[in-house]
Amino acid sequence: MSAKLRVGILSFAHLHADGYINNLRMNPLVEFIGFSDDDSARGVEVAHKYGARYFSSHEALIEDRPDAVVVCSENSRHLPLVVMAAHAGIHILCEKPLATTVEDARTMVDICQRAGVVLMTAFPMRFNAPAIEVKRALTDGRVGQIIACTATNQGECPYYHRSWFVDPLLAGGGAMADHIVHAADLLRWYLGSEVTRVYAQSNHILYAREAPEVETGGLVSLDFANGVFATIDCSWSKPPYYPTWGGLMMDVIGGAGVVNLNAFKQMLTVYTASTGRPRWDFWGSDADQWMINEFIAAIIEQRNPTVTGIDGLKAVEIVAAAYRSVASGQPEYVAAG
């Protein structure tokens, strides 16, 4: 291994890849070697935009022997890229959701464990400063015994940014596949307990024209093994002209009080004459940067990252149970991973 870790990005299909290039370049322990993409037009555009090396195939990037990769493909295409990297002994940070099926997620975890490589799931909310403060409050017992939680992870329909997000085959679903996982992972982290049963309802009322094949609104109820119950509003409910893409909020109700989380409250409202509407400029710490830093540190220190592939698998199990509940109209138990 060289003085710096050589890291590349596999696919630029996901919106977050734009930010990850800068995050990787900001880490002094990383040499960003470039990215691969099977969309040549997008690849050329991105290479010009960021002054980055473009590999015309994922195999070509793997053959350049990076120490680690960040997988940013469409959701259903995570598995083959993770398998390719793991077989080459390359460490992996994979976008969420880890996979579109429980079977694929479990395969990814197993293969990486056998290959002895790091598999980290991209859950940046674990590194969000307000979310960390809530974790400290809960750990210190400041709200007493937790009784219930309510979470919202809303946003605009991503159709306008990447159309594959509303393709059920590529995305694995709609708003539920997109937005359950972040809130579910925070809840597992906060409660130190696993989800046992899920009840969910969804509809296509919002963004019906842009996303006719997937659900655009969803409400999910979760039962945890420790007796806590929680709800997640995972809808694409923000209009395209909303000041930002979305946000994550949560209320944690305990016997001694309530703690409120707004993960993106650290922002300024900016008004400009040119657009005629306000925008929000975020001034808080960069959770993506801290996530990338943790991924790199875990590799160098030869340890598991604080967010693992198993965390990604658990989130996929919850999403799968939610879709089964929508289909059956009944609560569904979460399969053990």
Total domain count, the chain: 2
Same domain, 205 and 303: no
Answer yes or no: do 218 and 231 share one domain.
yes
Q: Both 16 and 53 in a single domain? A: yes
- 205 and 138 assigned to the same domain: yes
Pair (146, 261) in one structural domain:
yes
Taking only the tens place, the pLDDT of each residue in 59-111 is 999 999 999 999 999 999 999 999 999 999 999 999 999 999 999 999 999 99
Q: For 275-285, how does the pLDDT look when each residue is reduced to its tens digit (9 = 90+)?
A: 777 888 888 78
Domain with 279 in it: what CATH number? 3.30.360.10
Same domain, 38 and 141: no
Residues 241-264 as b or e (16 or more Cβ within 10 Å = b): ebeeebbbbbebbbeeeebebebb
Are 149 and 112 contained in the same domain?
Answer: no
Kindly state whether residues 79 and 198 are assigned to the same domain: no
Residues 146 and 276 in one domain: yes
Q: Are residues 242 and 294 in the same domain?
A: no
One domain for residues 98 and 9: yes
Return the higher-pLDDT residue of 205 and 240.
205
Same-domain check for residues 90 and 229: no
**How do 146-155 and 119-121 pair as beta strands?**
unpaired
Q: Say which CATH number the domain at 38 has.
A: 3.40.50.720
Q: What is the span of the domain harbouring residue 98?
A: 5-123+289-308
For the chain, percent of residues with pLDDT exceeding 70: 99
pLDDT (0 to 100) of residue 2:
55
